[in-house]
Each structure stands twice: as C-alpha cells, then as structure tokens.
Amino acid sequence: MEWSLVVFLIAGMVSLVLLMGIIIFGVKKSSEYKELQKLFGEKDKDLNSTVSELRKALKESKGENAQILERLKNLEAIVTSEAWDSIQSGEDAETTRLHIEVEEQEELNDSDKAARIAKRVR
C-alpha cells in the first residue's frame, strides 16, 4: 500500500469519528433542551395560574377596600357630628333623635346601620 492511501484512510476515519462525536453531542444537547423546554413550559403554566389568582385577589381586595373606606367615612361622620355628641351625653332634643331603637329592630348589618346613622347626622 502506498503511504498516501494510508494517510487518506486515516484522515477519513478521523473525520468519521469526529462527525459521529458531533452528531452524538448534538443529539444529547437537543434532548437536554427538550427537557428544559418541557420544564419551563410547566413552570410557565404554574406562573400564569398564580398570576391570574393574584389578579383575582387584587380585584377582590380593591372591592373590600372601597367598602371599608365607605364605612370609615360613615363612622367618621357619626363620631364628629354634634347630634351624636348630644345623644351620647343625653342632652338631645326630640328633633335630633336618630331613632336608633327602630333601626336596631331591623335586620341590618353594621355597615348599613352606620350609613343610615351617618345620613341622619350629616
């Protein structure tokens, strides 16, 4: 055999080994990327569901904040009114009476009671 043919065969074998190494490396990296993509897909779904839950909770808390603010305004109006002071001290006249006894007989929640009393003392 001629030495050029031997060199050519050796170079071909080295190239084949290198090519196989590149193919094996590529397949391995491709499977790793697919696993990462699957993992990130699952995490993305979890994050999307968490974000939607947080948005829903935020909307609910905004509604609750508005109710609390309205009740606070009513209670503030009651506490700072002169009519309430006169009723609490027992000096009120019949015209400033708030008819609290009548309202207590009705089935109202605390915020509705506060709103009614606040309307009357304003």
The share of the chain scoring above pLDDT 90, in percent, equals: 40
Domain containing residue 81: 24-121
Residue 35 one-letter amino acid: E
Answer whether residue 37 is part of any domain: yes
0.75 exceeded by pTM: no
**DSSP string for 9-44:** HHHHHHHHHHHHHHHHHHHHHHHHHHHHHHHHHHHH
Predicted local distance difference test score (pLDDT) of residue 121: 67
Answer whether residue 104 is part of any domain: yes
Number of domains in the chain: 1
Answer whether residue 70 is part of any domain: yes
Answer whether residue 15 is part of any domain: no
Give the mean pLDDT of 33-54: 90
pLDDT, tens digit, 9 for 90 and up, residues 20-32 = 999 999 999 999 9
Cα–Cα distance for residue pair 44/57, rounded to 1 Å: 20
